[in-house]
Structure 1
Amino acid sequence: MALHGDLFSYPLPEFLQWLDSSRKTGTLQLSWEAGERKLFLLSGQVGATAAEGLRGRVARLLTLSKLASGTKVLAGFDELARTPDVDAAFDIHGIQARWIRDLGREELFAAMTDLTIAGRGTFHWTEDADRSGEDWVPSDMGIRELLFESLRWVDEQPDVDKALPIDALSVRALAPPSPSQPLMHRIILGLCTSPQNLGRLRLSMGVSRSSVTRRVHELLRSKLVEVDGAPQVEADPVAEMLEKGAVLMREGQYDAAGIVCASLLASDPADRRVREFARLVQREHVAALYSDMPPLMVPLMIHDPQGQALLKPEERQIAGLVNGTWDVSTLVLASPARELETLKTLAKLQRMGLLQLVFPR
């Protein structure tokens, strides 16, 4: 099945939500004034992105930052034609594959932000996910993460533009780059050891203005750079907590990320960034639980009165629904609790040795 359209009639965030909810596999091609971008999807995951000259830009960025040799980066990309293992392809040449993925993700966040703000362009969707012959870079992220992060960039772009309104501003690093910092922060700090004009910095890096200005704004907020003529930028506690929550989610610490969401929602339930992040965490947590407990598997309770006595009343109620016949999906529908809470309870019962999963008869 193929779909064509324009991003004015069918806004990009809505189209991404449709692709996510239907867990699509295929290729999304986006075209606008800035060029063309392709996203390669596998069951709702963005495995890679492609654009003209993208691999060369990644190699140049890592060379400029002195993190890797551009020749070796390009050799790693050539290796991808012989092996599907991204880590192995770059390990052979002494390159950290996570740097390549980070820059692929950065390209996507910036492109989705620019397209959402512009509200122009066209899309073409096909269920053919063939990457051969494309200038592709791995990104490995869920559509939900891409959607949340790009909408967060869109919401915060006015603050970035207010602090960095023109390209003539001069940026100077106040601290050296550190391995503990995000990759784009390390690259910018390395390039700005002596003052750099913001416009020249952007052109030398070869990336979107929205990407460079956002990262400079984050460094300005963290007091790691100074920008001549820029107003004083105070830390945004909500943005900082959302960034920490996103790290927790990527590490699979969904309960901890949920706590971050709960505290932010309690303080400002109207903040769209917070609401979107809360939905993202819940969906990713549910997806992770289903991967450990497939919907068609049948739970069986193991008789252990002492263990069951440790359960909370609401957990015992869910445990009481386990009858050896209903599968996980049926139990979720029958449970009075929300889907996430039901799955968490089943996972807890499994960890406690009170429940085992068997294949349906």
Structure 2
Amino acid sequence: MRILHIVTGLAAGGAERQLLLMLRHLPPGYDCEVATLTNPGTVAVALRAEGFTVHDLGMRGNRDLGVLPRLIRLVRAGRYDLVHTHLYRAGLYGRLAARLAGVRAVLATEHSLQAGVIEGRPTTRGVRVLYLAAERLGSATVAVSGQVAGVLADWGVPADRVHLLPNGIEAARYARPAGERAAVRDRLRDELGLPRAAFVVGGVGRLVPGKRFAVLLDALAETRPAGRPEARLLLVGAGPERPVLERQAERLGLADRVHFTGERDDVPELLTAMDVLASPSAEETFGLAVLEGLAAGLPVLHSACPALDDLPPAAAPGALALPSDAAAYAAALAALADRRTAVLPRPPAVAHYDIARIAAELATLYDRLGPAPPRRRADRRSTVRA
């Protein structure tokens, strides 16, 4: 089965990394290519390195309608059996282009939809009208959590058009023997300018207001040594909020204790440099960073994680839910700094969200929507074009 994945961009965000993992773990028989409307970033590099074709459509902005005929030509030329879109802008243009190009099997994954917010932006009446119009052009919509499925239902999307298929993690990448983990930890701390003895609080995600990383800076200001190792904050990710956070660090006298890595594709390794992962976002559609922290054996503090809300509490004993305010995080971080522990055992939640199982379920959905995959096709990757 030939499948074209259309995505808004390919920077190292959660949805983009999920696309990479899904393609990496799909069973044989699915010949996938990717089209990015804009920003072919680090995930595009990783996809090409693994042999996947990535088409850059060079879209210049939300209203660059010239991308539509280019996308239609691409879909027609590729003779795809199914088109799978990811993120809002790709969902609008991708579903329309697929229909105009004659592709009947059109699937969309809704990665980031909350009550009143889509991908960090308010869902105005116009956005909602466009979304629902585009949704009707598709065959089905995938919701990555029960929370997302609930919003789709509130918007009036029929339940029989929505399939709950959560995100997944590549659990094996986060597990390391103790000796290897210690070596990676020391190397990365030296590289990042982190003292080896420091108590390192980590945050992973796009640097945007909705992630509320400012809460961690305020908490860090309250977490003073007082007989415990110095606390540092390591923020992994890029985004428009970085200058704001840098100014906040200066104002709080934390400039030498807050470390920004920028966009990175080695998150499993970077987690070894942390003593705790903190996710103060008040709203999430899934909570991928929380699961990554648990897979790496870290204690995790979080304020929103639908992925864990869908499971019994015993599935993630290393995760502690907190209000999204500095006082709560400062108190919890101080307690963890006072009783630093070795790597925690992997909780059941990690196995539940194993990417291999999720990818197999996605393949089953592909088979239901499109033609059956060729029996003798052995390689899911397409030939990289010059």
**TM-score, normalization by structure 2:** 0.22
**TM-score, normalization by structure 1:** 0.23
**Structure with max Cα Rg:** 1
Which structure would you say has the larger RCO, counting Cα contacts within 8 Å and 6 or more residues apart? 2
